[in-house]
Amino acid sequence: MSFLAWIVLGLLAGFIGSKIVNKRGEGLMLDIVLGVVGAIAGGLVFNALGAPGVSGLNLYSLFVAVVGSVLVLVLYHAVQRRA
Would you report the helix, strand and coil content of the chain in percent, each value rounded to 5?
A: 80, 0, 20
pLDDT at 26: 66
Question: Does pTM surpass 0.85?
Answer: no
Listed residue (13, 42, 9, 15) closest to 28, CA to CA:
15
53-65: average pLDDT: 85
Dump pLDDT digits (tens) for 4-53.
Answer: 887 788 788 888 888 888 766 667 777 778 878 888 888 888 889 988 87
pLDDT at 67: 92
Residue boundaries of the structural domains of the chain: 3-82
